[in-house]
Each structure stands twice: as C-alpha cells, then as structure tokens.
Amino acid sequence: MTEEIPRLELEGITKAYPGVIANNNVSMKIMPGEIHALLGENGAGKSTLVKFIYGVQKADSGTLKWEGEEMIIPNPNAARKLGVGMVFQHFSLFDAMTVEENIAIGISKELASGDLNQRIRDVSQQYGLPLDPDRYVHTLSVGEKQRIEVVRCLLQDPKLLIMDEPTSVLTPQEVDELFVTLRALSEEGVSILYISHKLQEIKDLCHFATIMRMGEVVDDCIPAEESPRSMAEMMMGANLVSPEKPGKTEPGAPHLVVRDLSLASSHQHGVDLKNVSLEVRKGEVLGIAGIAGNGQMELMQVLSGEKLIDDPSAVSIGNEAVGKSGPKIRRNAGMGFVPEERLGHGAVPEMSLWENAFLSGSKSMNLMDKGFINIKGSVDYALNIVSEFNVKTPGVQHTANSLSGGNLQKFIFGREILQCPGVIVALQPTWGVDAGSAAFIRQSLLDLAANGAAVLVISQDLEELFEVSDRLSVICEGELSPPRPAEEFTVEEIGLLMAGLSHDHQDEEVAHA
C-alpha cells in the first residue's frame, strides 16, 4: 500500500493573478480510492487549484503527475480523457431538456451513442442514484439535478472525481445518500477530491484533508482524528470564538407580521409563495431554513419592498401595513435589510464605502440636506461602521469591491444595525464569509435581538440557524412550516421538512407502521 503510485500528485503549483497570488507553491498527493478533502475559507485558493487540475487554467509553475507520469492538462477535454470528472457547484443543465439529452450533450460522441438510456439506468442503479433518464430537468429537485451531474461523470469511468461544495444544495437525507455513493466509489478505487467548508461532513466522509489559507497549504490532517472546531481553527489560523446567546429574555409583541401572503412568481422557473404567514416578535430571532430556490429570494423581495403586493396588510411592521410600500417607506418604519448578494445588491461595487453607507442610511442617519449629500456626515457614519464592526479596510474612500467578502458583509451589517432598526431581515447572512467574520455577524444579530429588535434570518446553513434562532420554520416550495422553538427540532426533522415531507405525510407513515 505504501509503495502505491499516487493517482494525482501536485508539486509546487504557483499561480499569480494580477495583484494576488492565488496559489503559492502548493503540493499535495491523492491516492487511488482516497477521499481527500480540500479545506479553506473563501479566497484561500481552492477553486484556482481545482481549475488547474481540470485543465481550465494553467499554472505559472509547478508540476502535475498523473499516475506517476508528469504531464500538462491543456483543457477539460484532456482532463476527461485522463479520467478526471468534475461536479460543479453550479449545474450547467438545460431545464427544457430531458435527463438523457442533458447527459448526452455533456459527454463525448462515442459515449453518447447507442444505448445511453439503458446505461444511465444501470449506473444510477449500481450506485444508488435513482434517476429517470426520460424526465424533464425542470421537474427535478436540486438533489436530483446534482445526480445528473454525478451520473454524467460516472458514465465516463472516472479515476478522480472532483466535487465542489456538493452538499450546499442538499437536505441532510440527500447528503447521507450522496455519501453512500461516494464511499462505494472509493471502495472501487476511484479517488475523490472533496471541496467543502462543512467540517462535520468532512470529518464523517474524508480520509485525509489538505488545508489551505491565502493560497498556501498551511496544514494537513486526518479528519476523523480532529474536531470540526480544530479544523476551523486550522483554516482560520486563529482561535474561533463562537457566538453566545445573551441571557434569555421574554420576547415581546409581534413586530414583523406577514399574513396569508400568496404571490405568483414573475420568473418562469421562480417559486410561487403560497399562503405564507409569520410573526417575528421583538427580542427574538426567527430562523427560516430551506434549500436554496424554495422561495427564499421571493420572500425576501416581498419583505424588503422590492416587490410590492396588492394587499397592504399582508406585511406589517408594528401597526403599520406596508405591503404596498417601497423600501424607503419600510426603512422609515424601522426595517433594515441584508440581501444575499453583497456586491451589486447590498452594496455598489465601484462606489466608495462612504457612498455605500449613504446608500441605505441617507434618510435615517440624516445624511441629506435639501437633496444634497452631506459628505462629511456620510464619511463619519462610514468610519463609525468600520470601527464598531471591525471592518478591515485602509479607508472609507476605498471601493466596496476592494473588501474581502467577510469584511464587506460586516460593513453591510454594520450599516443596517447602526440605523437602529426595529426589524432586520437577513438572507444567507454568512454565505461565503470567513469563519471569523461569520461568528462576529451572528453575535451582532443575537445582540440586536437582545436589545429588543425583531430579527428574521433566512438561511441554508442549519448550523447557523441553530446557533442564532429562538424559533425555527422551514420553507419548501414557497410554503412555510409552522414555527417551533429551535430546541424542539432535530436535524432529521428539519431535513424532512426541507425535502417537502409535511407533517400529515409523516403521520400517515406512522399510521401505516
């Protein structure tokens, strides 16, 4: 076993982009049948390295050995010929075509010809990936769509399978099913390079982990011998401070109320909201879990006033019905928002930080004088955000896109929180944010609630939701489950709700059993 030739060996890979070194002297080995985790915060250089292995990008220097042989992979086609398969985080599927057609256009002609339909059925059965080749893609769940990508790779008999954040769109049950498949592949000798920042999963699944920070390999470990916390600290290079819930306070009166909200989506593949009702009380955090694409975006738009509804009383803040009012009026009523997209939605990328502070604070922070911008006031406000929320930036004249994801998210949170909102609504508050900033942001949400604000957090990250929420609800296909205290939920239960198996359903099953 020790004399075995590594499937893939990288040595001294360096890749510099203008102004930043994405990979600096990266070396790693992946053995046949090994499930190898590539761990690191956003911007640590994981994607650059993977792009190099898959032939999408060339390195400035360094060598790649495939089964002991030194070579250059010039493009993804060559990579596929060698036996490298990749499942991307974002699927490249055509909704209006069937599963078989989608698979056929992604593989070579020889493979696509003949009894493709049967082979898809065989592979999906062999590896426990139920998939009907004749179904149209738009009728499939996200988990099923991912199976298409996996099956597409498997049809090409890969020797190395690269998976980029594969579980971010799956329910806990779907994750378990995927892991069964991956373990089976590993036993057959397929190597798997597994990229994720979900540490518990890596501990459960992976044989070995390479940890990257700022483009360099900083550490490696055997995940089974580590704890998620110790791996997080290796990733950050610092000690992790987890948020603490301040002393339990009795929640106050309902402050943000949504009543019987139904809304047909304006997008063809969007999600309709069906009869959504919720109440967020003063001083509590309500968490909404759900797999991306189940109506979270739509709900956020309705709450923020970017999408208006005919019935004003469908959304109210305190006693004010605001369903028909735009974002400005809602802000005046004391609402703050943190959208999912930082660059381009929550902030204007090419504008300076002080202008971005002005963007949402113009009215409530009194930064406007007869229509003119109070520049000094805006700069002071931005400086205040930077110092109170630990934003690392050389100055508030710098543009928003010069900040790292975590720093910009702290800035946006700071901007909203310093306006002392009575209600704050955040969508995916720590998505793609480094662990240190994420902990900071969660803590500030808890503090805000402790000070009497109603906080609504919509997120895919269950760990996050359990950490901050007092009550939890699950959104699935535009429907919201009745909220219950967070401690009453188990992860399994939430998983079932995320997959759309409602209570009646479960009761039925229980009755059958």
Instruction: Using CB under 8 A, list all residues that contact another protein.
Output: 12, 17-20, 58-64, 70-72, 74, 304-306, 326-329, 331, 337, 339, 341, 343-351, 355, 358-360, 362, 368, 371-373, 375, 402
> Measured from the CB atom, is 42 or 364 closer to another protein?
364
β-strand 69-71 against 35-39: which pairing, if any?
unpaired
β-strand 84-87 against 273-281: which pairing, if any?
unpaired
DSSP E strand stretches across 309-377 = 315-317, 320-321, 335-338, 368-369, 372-373
Q: Give min distance, CB of 366 to another protein, in A.
A: 13
Q: Give min distance, CB of 248 to another protein, in A.
A: 33
Q: Give min distance, CB of 291 to another protein, in A.
A: 23
Q: How many residues does the chain have?
A: 513
**Which pair of tokens denotes residue 296?**
């979270």
In terms of Cα–Cα distance, which of 86, 89, 453 is closest to 256? 453
Cα–Cα distance measured from residue 475 to residue 293, given in angstroms and rounded to the nearest whole number: 10
In a 3-state reduction of DSSP, which class is residue 116? helix
Bridge partners, residue 23, by sequence: 15
In terms of Cα–Cα distance, which of 26, 15, 16, 8 is closest to 70? 8
> Measured from the CB atom, is 305 or 334 closer to another protein?
305
> Measured from the CB atom, is 270 or 500 closer to another protein?
270
> Measured from the CB atom, is 236 or 348 closer to another protein?
348
Q: Which residues contact 392 (CB under 8 A, 6 or more apart)?
A: 403, 404, 407
> Measured from the CB atom, is 148 or 297 closer to another protein?
297
**∠ Cα 253 259 261 (to 5°):** 150
Cα–Cα distance measured from residue 458 to residue 463, given in angstroms and rounded to the nearest whole number: 13
**Which pair of tokens denotes residue 419?**
């306006």
**Which pair of tokens denotes residue 376?**
């000094």
Residue owning tokens 């459960």? 204
In a 3-state reduction of DSSP, which class is residue 69? strand
> Measured from the CB atom, is 378 or 437 closer to another protein?
378
Cα–Cα distance measured from residue 317 to residue 311, given in angstroms and rounded to the nearest whole number: 14
Q: What sign does the CA torsion over 410, 416, 421, 425 have?
A: negative
Task: Please report, for residues 72, 126, 461, the alpha-carbon distance to residue 21 in angstroms, rounded to integers and kept in the order given.
Answer: 21, 43, 30
Q: Give min distance, CB of 68 to another protein, in A.
A: 14
Q: Give min distance, CB of 489 to another protein, in A.
A: 32
Complete DSSP assignment for 88-110: -SS----TTSBHHHHHHHTS-HH
Q: Give min distance, CB of 263 to another protein, in A.
A: 17
> Measured from the CB atom, is 360 or 481 closer to another protein?
360
Q: Give min distance, CB of 346 to another protein, in A.
A: 7
Q: Are 321 and 312 in contact (CB under 8 A)?
A: yes
Residue owning tokens 């109320």? 257
**Which pair of tokens denotes residue 371?**
């229509």
Q: Give min distance, CB of 301 to another protein, in A.
A: 9
Q: Give min distance, CB of 191 to another protein, in A.
A: 22
> Measured from the CB atom, is 140 or 427 closer to another protein?
427
Q: Give min distance, CB of 39 to another protein, in A.
A: 26
Q: Give min distance, CB of 332 to another protein, in A.
A: 10
> Measured from the CB atom, is 73 or 182 closer to another protein?
73
Q: What sign does the CA torsion over 296, 301, 302, 308 have?
A: negative
Cα–Cα distance measured from residue 424 to residue 285, given in angstroms and rounded to the nearest whole number: 10
> Measured from the CB atom, is 402 or 404 closer to another protein?
402
**Which pair of tokens denotes residue 166?**
């594969």
Phi, psi of 303 (to 5 degrees): -70, -35
Q: Give min distance, CB of 341 to another protein, in A.
A: 7
> Measured from the CB atom, is 17 or 94 closer to another protein?
17
> Measured from the CB atom, is 168 or 401 closer to another protein?
401
